[in-house]
Amino acid sequence: MDDRNDPTGTSMDRRSIIKAIAGGLGGLCLAAQVRSRPVAAAQTARMGFVRRERSPWFTPLEAGRLRCDLCPRHCRLEPGRRGACRVRENNNGTGYTLVYGNPCLVQIDPVERKPFYHVLPGSRALSISTAGCPIECKFCEVWDMALVRPEELHAYDLPPGAVVEHAREAGVQAVSYAFGEPVAFYEYMADTASMAKEAGLLNLLHTSGYIERQPLEEITGILDAVNIDLKSFCPQFYRDICSAELDPVLETLKWLKGAGVHVEITNILIPTLNDDMQLIRRMCAWIRDELGADVPLHFTRFYPLYKLANLPQTPASTMDEARSAAQDEGLEYVYVGKVTGHDGENTYCPGCAHKVIDRTGFVIEHVHLTNGACNYCGTAIPGIWS
Of the candidates 294, 342, 293, the one whose C-alpha atom is nearest the C-alpha of residue 318 is: 342
Quick check: is 351 in a domain?
Answer: no
In a shared domain, residues 94 and 187: yes
349 Cβ neighbours under 8 A, 6+ residues apart: 355, 356, 374, 376, 377, 379, 381
pLDDT at 51: 82
Quick check: is 298 in a domain?
Answer: yes
In a shared domain, residues 172 and 66: yes
In a shared domain, residues 189 and 82: yes
In a shared domain, residues 277 and 162: no
DSSP, res 219 = H
In a shared domain, residues 62 and 211: yes
CATH code assigned at 262 = 3.20.20.70
Q: Which of 228, 253, 268 is the last residue of a domain?
A: 228
Quick check: is 259 in a domain?
Answer: yes
pLDDT at 43: 72
Q: Please list the residues that pair with 264 across neighbouring strands.
A: 227
Total domains present in the chain: 2
Quick check: is 31 in a domain?
Answer: no
Quick check: is 9 in a domain?
Answer: no
pLDDT of the chain along its 386 residues, tens only?
A: 333 333 333 333 333 333 333 333 332 233 233 233 334 346 777 887 778 999 999 999 999 999 999 999 999 999 999 999 999 999 999 999 999 999 999 999 999 999 999 999 999 999 999 999 999 999 999 999 999 999 999 999 999 999 999 999 999 999 999 999 999 999 999 999 999 999 999 999 999 999 999 999 999 999 999 999 999 999 999 999 999 999 999 999 999 999 999 999 999 999 999 999 999 999 999 999 999 999 999 999 999 999 999 999 999 999 999 999 999 999 999 999 999 899 999 999 999 999 999 999 999 999 999 999 999 999 999 999 99
Q: Which of 184, 205, 228 is the last residue of a domain?
A: 228
In a shared domain, residues 110 and 222: yes
Please give the model's pTM, rounded to 2 decimal places.
0.89
pLDDT at 48: 75
In a shared domain, residues 143 and 273: no
In a shared domain, residues 67 and 186: yes
In a shared domain, residues 339 and 240: yes
In a shared domain, residues 153 and 236: no
pLDDT at 47: 82
163 Cβ neighbours under 8 A, 6+ residues apart: 103, 106, 126, 128, 175, 192, 195, 196
24 Cβ neighbours under 8 A, 6+ residues apart: none
Cβ atoms 263, 228 nearer than 8 A: yes
Q: Which of 177, 200, 228 is the last residue of a domain?
A: 228
pLDDT at 42: 62
3-state secondary structure of 356: strand
d(CA 39, CA 281): 47
In a shared domain, residues 103 and 155: yes
DSSP, res 384 = B
Quick check: is 87 in a domain?
Answer: yes
Quick check: is 279 in a domain?
Answer: yes
Domain that holds residue 170: 47-228
In a shared domain, residues 248 and 210: no
